Structure 1
Amino acid sequence: MLFTINITAQVQLSGTLIDDYTSTPIEGAKIKVKGINAGAFTDEKGVFKISLKAELPVTLISSFLGYSDVETVITSVLDPIVIRIKTDKTLNLDEVKVRSFATDKEKESALSIETMSLSEIQETPSSDFYEGLSHMKGVDLTSASLGFKVVNTRGFNSTSPVRTLQIIDGVDNASPGLNFALGNFLGASELDLMKVEVVSGASSAFYGPNAFNGVISMYTKSPFKFEGFSASVKGGERFLTEYAVRYAKAFQNKEGKDKFAFKLNFSYLSADDWVADNANSVEGLDTDENNIGGYDAVNRYGDENLSPNINNALDIQSRWMTPGLRRWHRTGYWEKDIVDYDTKNLKASAAFHYLFTEDVELVLASNLGTGQFHF
């Protein structure tokens, strides 16, 4: 008997893409394996890594905006792969006259944009990327709770940022009932983010009347460019756990060009928020913890000072008439007795992309965000 067994080893390709003229690395370029649905994008150092089940030689197609596509034949993984790419000569245009329809206000408005790239999102030293926005110039961040973080610009340090517009892929992310975005509680999964831009300052001329304090613009990953399965797990104090998964798949037509793609995202966060149980007396009052008639505690409610009309021991004369009595407070109730500090956040999304041409794309997306937090 004769047995034939075909074994295909997994090939690991890694290399660097650089500019042919300046020899500087190119970030965000697409490296694709010709004839195979596999590829990668270069990082900030121009490095790419591709894993594929195929036999050498293979052909890599390198492409980037403003550069001519380059095909490179790889015959061995032992030698370092360095791909040099040249600028597209067709971009050397003659003089072009452009008519501008911008208003005078748009011409006078200067936008100051701070950007958090994909690598910065992944390497942020904060618990999540949204908290990492506080390191940007002109950005103030307030942590109202574990599940709700508020970004403000221009010094408006408010927990109700109605002056700030937050958009995800061009879509307003504000809660209809509150008229402002609940941080990233109902936003995009961190695993699906491509970059975040923060516009500090009035931007109504470009983004509409709600953007007179600033704009937070998030861009998610394209399933054509970021395929495959990815997952992340986070943990921290207060029993904080966060799980996230993402899967994307692209399909090509008979000509080998991208035509249809989809992506699925799911993330879940749970934590026990900090309990507000400060029993110290509120500052600026005549009574404190040593008062026989009680006192006004910071996180106890219903124990505030009584009004002069019903507090018989409010002034000195009343205390002379009723010796031994001082100000009296109701027993009140603690915040922890009526508030659920369990923080939960579930986010799920599905998106389907269809390319008519390289410049025209149809996207059908659905997003779900739900949970609870203390505000």
Structure 2
Amino acid sequence: MRALCVICLIMWSTCPVVAQDMGNLTGKVEDETGEALFAANVVVKGPAIEGIRGVITDEQGNYRIDRLPPGMYEITISYIGYETTVVSGVEIRAGESTTRNFELTAVALIGQQVVVSASRKQEKALDAPASIATIEASEIRDRGVLSPTEHIKALPGVDFSKTGISQSNVVVRGFNNVFSGALLTLVDNRIARVPSLRFNAFDMIPVTGEDIERIEVVLGPGSALYGPNTSSGVMHIITRSPFGSEGNTI
């Protein structure tokens, strides 16, 4: 009986010590307008723990991760529709509560992309009456290519053939040849093919990757909107506005 009392006394006396050796991480997750984000994922990892630890925020956007060993941690905050935020070098100290608040930036989802080529008016990609693929400026800047067509060659349904250093032929839904004009090519709503020849000279289109804001490819017939020679689809190259992209690059 005396031995049992001694063991209980030792366990009782060591519990506060163990708790004091741990730290807590608390904070709040909001969007750019200051609105709390409910059920955002907050994950921490570091050399002091095995694997990862994580929680989700409550209805007020608050989170709390208890009993973290002292050390340096990396915090990852993610939420659908918002850019994932990663913060390194967060120190957790023994017996202290560390507070880190986060503000997430909204990003456009695929279904919320605005396109203009499917109906010749602005609309969401999900509302477009035709299948449409979009190559955004961030993807275009990452590719060092000589012709705008090389940005779309990996899209489903696109038939691409390279005929020279900067020359290429591309159509949608097959039937590719050197004089193929089945793919209507536009630059800022103007026809880009060689006049009267129905010939797409893609290497002669006077735009570079820095000039392009996005490329929209309509996969399917577009004669009702664009007239003849649009039986296979439309490639619309939309350039950046000079009012929103002043200056130049070297």
Q: TM-score, normalised by structure 2?
A: 0.49
Q: Which structure carries more relative contact order (alpha carbon 8 Å, separation 6+)?
A: 2
